[in-house]
């Protein structure tokens, strides 16, 4: 089509829009800068971590259970991979339904002023720096859990079911469960905001159609709203998972930082981001530092994949919602 356009027309267009041209070139350069940055980051992480990946194997590095920078100089990331999986999946499971409930309430049930407040608070809590969550976790949540939940449970188990003790672990307050709980609190606003947006995408005529059939609010949700927003809600969960995987500061502050397997419910654990944050300052051995960078590489890839998948699902849902308009 463009080739067949008369040439004088195209020239005059270019002439009148020369300012536009310059501007579009500039923003194209800036935009490609972001892309280049991402590619360079992936490349740097890969080349920086290539040595341990080659030495222990692409999968062997992930599945090796020994992380010993001092004596054996052996680097297997499994304790951190496991810790990351446990904390992020655990956080997702704990946060998903409360977040969905908040989203449904804010989008469909709450009176207008209440919905405004909820939405504002969701956005606000999503923006609180994670170190604040961490501080709160260290000074308030962890001691509280220790005194009112971990210790009583531990003492009860010691008296009545000593078989459970090895699974419970040291009830110091700083450990796996505390990390899961704080992560769950952190991803709730994230999941809820995305679910709310997915629900809002459902076209009003779909809702009205259900109401016109004599549906109650819940039936409208069930029949018209949730089927159409389901994919978007799931995509939100993916993105929240990506966030939970990469969350560093708050987790590092409360997880107890122990990579001794097997992990216990109350006892210390560690995640990929937390070990990077903890060890990079004292990683004097090149192989140690490179192993940390390799961890970063894997994290980068997983986060990338989760974000791409989540983004694709959200786009598909938006298209579906438009398609039925």
Partner 1 sequence: MEETSVPKFFMRDGALELSSTKELVHLEARDLSVYYGKRVGVGRVNLSLYRNRVTAFIGPSGCGKTTFLRSLNRMHDLTPNVRVQGQVLLDGSDIYGPGTDPIQIRRRIGMVFQKPTAFPTLSVYDNVVAGLKMVGLRDRKRLDEAAERSLQQAALWDEVKDRLRAPAAGLSGGQQQRLTIARALAVEPEILLMDEPTASLDPISTQAIEDLLGTLKQQVTIAIVTHNMQQAARISDYTAYFLNGELIEMDSTSKMFTKPNDKRTEAYITGRFG
In this chain, which of 216, 282, 305, 311 binds partner 1, going by CB under 8 A? 216
Considering only 24-32, 55-63, 220-228, 268-276, which stretch makes contact with partner 1 by CB under 8 A? 220-228
Closest CA relative to residue 170, chosen from 91, 253, 106, 255: 255
CB 118 within 8 A of CB 106: yes
In this chain, which of 223, 303, 304, 309 binds partner 1, going by CB under 8 A? 223
Per-residue x/- track, 163-202, partner 1 (CB under 8 A): ----------------------------------------
Phi/psi at 128 (5° precision): -65, 130
Query: Cβ 208 to partner 1, closest distance in Å?
Result: 7
Coil vs helix vs strand at 70: coil
Phi/psi at 74 (5° precision): -110, 135
Helix axes 18-56, 286-323, angle to 10 degrees: 130
Q: Does 39 bind partner 1 (CB under 8 A)?
A: no
In this chain, which of 224, 253, 275, 295 binds partner 1, going by CB under 8 A? 224
Q: Which residue do the tokens 């590619």 mark?
A: 39
Query: Cβ 311 to partner 1, closest distance in Å?
Result: 21
231 vs 264, beta carbon nearer partner 1: 231
- Preceding amide of 262 cis, omega within 30: yes
Q: Does 127 bind partner 1 (CB under 8 A)?
A: no
Q: Which residue do the tokens 């709730």 mark?
A: 188
Cα dihedral 21→24→30→34 (10° resolution) = -140
In this chain, which of 206, 252, 258, 317 binds partner 1, going by CB under 8 A? 206
Query: Cβ 225 to partner 1, closest distance in Å?
Result: 10
Considering only 134-142, 176-184, 210-218, 286-294, which stretch makes contact with partner 1 by CB under 8 A? 210-218
In this chain, which of 135, 151, 215, 261 binds partner 1, going by CB under 8 A? 215
Q: Interior CA angle at 161 toward 160 and 166, to 5°?
A: 140
DSSP sequence for 209-278: HHHHTT--HHHHIIIIIHHHHHHHHHHHHHHHHHHHHH--HHHHHHS----PSSP-SSS----HHHHHHH
Query: Cβ 123 to partner 1, closest distance in Å?
Result: 22
Considering only 57-65, 130-138, 204-212, 253-261, which stretch makes contact with partner 1 by CB under 8 A? 204-212
Contacting partner 1 within 76-115 (CB under 8 A):
112
Interface with partner 1 by CB under 8 A: which residues? Answer: 112, 205-216, 219, 223-224, 227-228, 230, 320, 323-325
């Amino acid at each position: 089509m463009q080739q067949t356009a008369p040439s004088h027309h195209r020239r005059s267009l270019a002439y009148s829009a020369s300012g536009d041209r310059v501007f579009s070139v500039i923003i194209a350069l800036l935009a490609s800068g972001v892309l280049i940055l991402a590619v360079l980051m992936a490349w740097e992480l890969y080349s920086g971590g290539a040595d341990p990946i080659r030495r222990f194997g692409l999968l062997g590095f992930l599945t090796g259970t020994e992380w010993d920078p001092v004596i054996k100089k052996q680097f297997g990331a499994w304790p951190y991979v496991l810790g990351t999986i446990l904390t992020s999946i655990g956080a997702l499971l704990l946060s998903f339904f409360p977040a969905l409930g908040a989203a449904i309430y804010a989008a469909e049930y709450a009176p207008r002023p209440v919905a405004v407040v909820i939405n504002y608070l969701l956005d606000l809590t999503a923006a609180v720096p994670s170190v604040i969550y961490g501080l709160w976790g260290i000074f308030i949540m962890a001691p509280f859990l220790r005194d009112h939940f971990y210790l009583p449970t531990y003492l009860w188990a010691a008296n009545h079911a000593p078989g459970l003790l090895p699974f419970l672990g040291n009830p110091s307050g700083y450990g796996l469960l505390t990390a899961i709980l704080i992560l769950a609190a952190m991803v709730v606003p994230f999941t809820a905001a995305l679910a709310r947006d997915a629900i809002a995408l459902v076209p009003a005529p779909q809702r009205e159609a259900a109401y016109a059939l004599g549906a109650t609010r819940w039936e409208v949700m069930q029949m018209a709203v949730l089927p159409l927003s389901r994919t978007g809600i799931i995509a939100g969960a993916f993105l929240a998972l990506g966030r939970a995987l990469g969350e560093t500061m708050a987790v590092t502050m409360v997880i107890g930082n122990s990579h001794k397997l097997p992990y216990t419910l109350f006892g210390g654990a560690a995640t990929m981001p937390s070990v990077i944050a903890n060890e990079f300052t004292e990683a004097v051995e090149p192989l140690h530092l490179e192993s940390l960078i390799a961890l970063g590489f894997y994290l980068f890839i997983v986060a990338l994949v989760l974000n791409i998948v989540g983004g694709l699902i959200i786009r598909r849902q938006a298209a579906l919602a438009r398609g039925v308009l």
